[in-house]
Amino acid sequence: MPLVGLTAQNLNVIENCKMSDQNFGKKEIERIHLDLFLKEYSRITGIQLPEVCPSESPDFICIPSDGKALGIELVNVMRDPEEAQFERLLNHKLEADGQGTLANIYSTIEKKDETRSSIYGKWSDRTILVMILSDCQLSNLQLCLTKDLQEDFSEHGFMEI
């Protein structure tokens, strides 16, 4: 089914939103992050993205007022758990630094972009990638956030990052 003209009335979208019971708890946590993202996305862009249903890949399907469905993929950006534990115990470092987190952001985008076209199907070009910073505050990244970063992100196949 082509995406163009897909509307909330088209129940075939709902049919594709099935989820296994074992993923229910994970999906509820993702929904909390999704709600925070949707609120801020609306505040910043003025565009409302009502959630239609949970999915597997991408994580959620939304249909904005233009009627063109899009996917929302949520991904945690964090240090390797063993590395983080080592840094907490030996260096008393509770959070990742900005440079390390930026490297993890690039790595995460690369991994997601590699699998995007194969697992997202019809959503591959209609997905927003939302990155959740799990162990680094955004303020720690301020010195790393430059215009070059936006250009780097635009080279990938996601609608927005």
**Whether pLDDT at 25 is above 50:** yes
**Whether pLDDT at 57 is above 70:** yes
Query: What pLDDT sits at residue 40?
Result: 94
Query: What pLDDT sits at residue 134?
Result: 83
Query: What pLDDT sits at residue 14?
Result: 44
Q: How confident is the model at residue 73 (pLDDT cuts 50, 70, 90)?
A: very high
Distances (CA, A) of 145 to 98, 122, 138, 139, 158: 9, 31, 10, 10, 19
Q: Which pTM does this prediction carry?
A: 0.77
